[in-house]
Amino acid sequence: MNIFPMQKSFTFLTAVTAGLALVALTSVAAKADNKPAIEVITHAGAGGGTDVNSRMMMLRSRRTLKQDMVVVNKRGGGGALAMNYFMTRPADGNTIMTFTVGHAITMGKGKTKLKVEDMSPIARGTNDPQILMVNCKTSPYKTPEDFVAGMKNGDKLKFGGTQTGTIDHITVFLWAKRLGVPMPTYIPFKGGGELATQLVAGSVDVGTLNLSEAAAPVEAGDICPLVILANAGMAPIPKAKTAKSMGIDLVLSTTRGFVTHAGVDPARRDALEKGLMKAMKHSLYQAYLKNSGLDETSPLASGAWGEQIKSMVGEFGPALEEMGLK
């Protein structure tokens, strides 16, 4: 079964849509009524995942808001430079920042003065749950229950993730803490693709991955997803269970969304939310999600998105401190 029927065209689609966005942003949006352009602040360089996500949101939002939008790239400090720049902008509703899990980690480390209460959530754009996966052929764990029982019984496992101090690293720490066991051996890799390859090769026992990162080996039956750190299961991997369904309260995702300033007029903030949510329901954005291995549940309104931001920052700060990374 092909989990992502359009996965092979993702690179092509991304290149085309990013190009369309770049062209579109050179002209004033139709019916802009001489309004100032909305600045969309990202911490990624042009062509990076966050940059592309922002531009995909903007393709239709420029029309729904009837206002021009321009990307402002502020790279550095794990999002700290972007957040610090955001704090200098007026709270007039003409600034949007793309907020990611990386920003939440940077806030948790205390590397920026920006606080949760300084932001007003608008909408979430993407959400890719953290999933604990094993090698189907060599792992002794064939079910989620086997895996949890093995860890609780003291099995010494090597976990893999991307880099240190990242969402993957924090995931392994919090997973072990929730189970009441010591932090396992954590082996960092450069990216999800390398991690998936090394999980198949047997270099690690458990991989902390997103489904989109491991699509090919999961489809091939080489990697088996066991535990999803989300509120709900995922249709492409029906045998995997959520941690919550097994009584383990842990929800973590690689996520991106949009915020503005806390002091923005409520009517203006509501208009931004309405415009972005409508834009992300359009077929262009939905195709982008599908080709990224995501689905229509990614876009989320401000209320739940705001709660997710609070949860991430609140969870990461203490975790990073205990890990000696704050």
At 187-211, the pLDDT tens digits run 999 999 999 999 999 999 999 999 9
| Mean pLDDT within 37-41 | 98
Residue listed under structure tokens 């609780």: 152
Which of 3-12, 93-102, 152-161, 317-326 bottoms out in mean pLDDT, i.e. has the lowest?
3-12
Count of alpha carbons within 13 angstroms of residue 74, beta-carbon side: 22
Question: Do 130 and 254 contact (CB within 8 A), yes or no?
Answer: yes
- pLDDT of residue 217 exceeding 80, the answer is yes
Which domains are present in the chain? 7-127+255-322 (3.40.190.150), 128-246 (3.40.190.10)
- pLDDT of residue 181 exceeding 70, the answer is yes
| Mean pLDDT within 271-284 | 98
At 236-272, the pLDDT tens digits run 999 999 999 999 999 999 999 999 999 999 999 999 9
Q: Please give the structure tokens belonging to residue 196.
A: 């998936």
pTM: 0.88
* Distant-in-sequence, close-in-space partners of 50: CB < 8 Å, separation ≥ 6: 42, 43, 44, 98, 100, 256
Long-range contacts of range 200-205, CB-CB < 8 Å, 24 or more positions apart? 200/135, 202/135, 202/138, 203/158, 203/160, 204/158, 204/159, 204/160, 205/134, 205/135, 205/139, 205/157, 205/158, 205/159
Tell me which residue of 216, 227, 231, 255 sits closest to 128, measured CA to CA: 255
H or E element, residue 289: helix 283-291
- pLDDT of residue 36 exceeding 80, the answer is yes
Average pLDDT along the chain: 91
CA distances from 11 to 22, 57, 154 (A): 16, 17, 42
- pLDDT of residue 231 exceeding 80, the answer is yes
Question: Do 20 and 59 contact (CB within 8 A), yes or no?
Answer: yes
- pLDDT of residue 90 exceeding 90, the answer is yes
| Mean pLDDT within 273-295 | 95
**Beta pairing, strands 95-100 & 38-42:** parallel
Question: Do 28 and 66 contact (CB within 8 A), yes or no?
Answer: no
Which of 24-38, 79-93, 170-184, 221-235 bottoms out in mean pLDDT, i.e. has the lowest?
24-38
